[in-house]
Structure 1
Amino acid sequence: MTSYMVALGKQLNKIEKHVFGTRGRGLDGPVHNIQPGDYVYVKSLAEKTLEPQWEGPFQVLLTTFTAVKTKEYSAWIHHTRVKKAPYHKPEWKSTSTGPLKLRIRRQ
């Protein structure tokens, strides 16, 4: 019985090399373009009628290859449930016209 188990172990080791050669490797990099510091919207899991399905924007603290972490959520969020919040330049410009005056203009 012992010799049978040893022979079986050797055969499994040979097969294992072939199997690992054909298996796909893990991820080499992130599958999303979200970086720490970006703002994202998170899709709500509970679909309620006539209510927004996206919550946020929330700032991303950490990322992995497939998930993001925000301060507002205790769990990691899969990248398919988030979308990047659009970056908007400020549309208004303020200039001081006196000690107590401020002029606000559209750009």
Structure 2
Amino acid sequence: MDMGGDGARQGREPRSGGANLLVFLALLPLDALVGGYAWLAIGMNGWAAAHNGEEVTVAFTESAAYGGVPAAVGLALCWGRYWGAAAAQFVLTAVLIAWLLSFPG
């Protein structure tokens, strides 16, 4: 724990904007990989249901599972004090979940 000259505790400072941007850009391939796999898996389930004559349902469980990966990464970014990158990660997670739930199955 850092102590100032007057004995007051100094909190941990957030990372710089450039560091947040670099971390966010470094995580974009992971986000694209998770989003692409989620799109493929949910799309294949919907296609199989439609092809077999079954009713296509919204895949809430799969959407939550695939949205959990970027959300966990966002929490790790918060722990590492990358607040800007974490906020962008949470926005991307919300967009991913909304996009996945827009599919009929």
More helix by share: 2
TM-score by length of 1: 0.26
How high is the TM-score relative to the length of structure 2? 0.26
Structure number with greater CO (CA < 8 Å, separation at least 6) is 2
